Amino acid sequence: MHIGLIGGIGPAATDFYYRRLISTFARKNATLELTIVHADTPTLLSNLARNDAATQTAIYSRLTNRLVSAGAECVGVTSIAGHFCIDDFKVLSPLPVVDMVLEVSRAIEARGLKRIGVLGTRTVMETRFYGRIASAEVVPPNELDLDDVHQAYISMAASGFVTGEQRSIFHAVSHRLLEKQGVEAIMLGGTDLALAFNEQTSDFPLVDCAAIHADAIARLAIA
C-alpha cells in the first residue's frame, strides 16, 4: 500500500516518521511506497489556538488530494496537535485516515496502564489527549509546569531542534508527574518530543505516540 503523510508539522516529527517507516519496511523486507506533503506549522498552531477545525480540515483535504494524485492509498497526519480536527477530516478525506489518537488509546489499553502523565501543547494537555483515552486517567502537569512545557514544545516544534533548556523542562516536569502525581508512564503527547526522549534509554516508562502511530501505518501498508 502506498502511504501518504501530511508532514511538516513539525519538521522533526516528519523526519521521525520517515526514518521509522524506512527501518520497519527494511526489517520486514517490504517495499516502501511513500509520498509526503507539507503542511505549515504556524498555520496549524494558529488554527489550533482558535479551535478553527474547518480551516485546518480544508487544508488537510487539499493536501490529501495531492496524495491521491501521487497514488497514495491511506493518509496519516504527523502531528498530535494536528489531530484536534481529525474527526472532521476523517469524514471529508478522500483517503482512509490512520487516526493516531485511536491507535494510542488501543496501545495504552493493551499495556494495562491506568494513570498516565502527558506532555505536549496546551490543548493536548488540557484536553487530556482530546479526552479519547477510555482505559486510563490522563494527568496534565500543574498550571505553571503546563505553561513551561507548552512554550518549550512550541519553540522546539517550530525550529526542529531541542535545546538543553527545553530538554531539562520536559524531563523535570516528567519526574514531578511521576513522583508527586503518581503516574505510571509519561505520554509523549507531541510528535516532536522524540527529539527530547528515547524510548530505549529513558529512565521511566514512555507512551511514544509518534512511534505507535508510525507502526500502525506500517502494519496497515504491509498488510
Residues 203 and 111 in one domain: yes
Residues 166 and 79 in one domain: no
Angle at 204 between CA 216 and CA 148, to 5 degrees: 90
| Cβ atoms 138, 120 nearer than 8 A | no
Residues 111 and 87 in one domain: no
pLDDT of residue 158: 86
| Alpha-carbon gap, residue 140 to 133, rounded angstroms | 13
Residues 118 and 200 in one domain: yes
| Alpha-carbon gap, residue 10 to 40, rounded angstroms | 8
Give the chain's count of helices (H) and strands (E).
9, 7
The pTM (predicted TM-score) of the whole model is: 0.93
Residues 81 and 135 in one domain: no
Residues 196 and 124 in one domain: yes
Residues 166 and 76 in one domain: no
Burial 145-184 (b: 16+ CB within 10 A, else e): bbebbbebbbebbebeebeeebeebbbebbeebbeeeebb
Residue 28: give the domain boundaries: 3-100+212-222
In one letter, which amino acid is 111? R
The residue among 38, 48, 33, 49 whose CA lies nearest residue 11 is 38
The DSSP H or E segment spanning 188 is strand 185-189
C-alpha cell at 23: 527501518
Residues 218 and 126 in one domain: no
Residues 134 and 177 in one domain: yes
| Alpha-carbon gap, residue 163 to 154, rounded angstroms | 12
Residues 107 and 95 in one domain: no
| Cβ atoms 3, 34 nearer than 8 A | yes
Residues 95 and 24 in one domain: yes
Residues 94 and 130 in one domain: no
Helix H, strand E, coil C: the string for 121-181 is CHHHHHCCHHHCCCCCEEECCCHHHHHHHHHHHHHHHHHCCCCHHHHHHHHHHHHHHHHHC
pLDDT along the chain (223 residues), means of 10: 95 94 97 97 93 97 98 97 96 97 96 97 94 95 96 92 96 97 96 91 94 97 94
Q: What is the CATH number of the domain that holds 65?
A: 3.40.50.1860
| Alpha-carbon gap, residue 120 to 191, rounded angstroms | 8
3-state secondary structure of 119: strand
3-state secondary structure of 31: coil
pLDDT of residue 71: 98
| Alpha-carbon gap, residue 137 to 61, rounded angstroms | 33
Domain count, the chain: 2
Residue 10 has a CB neighbour count (10 Å cut-off) of 28
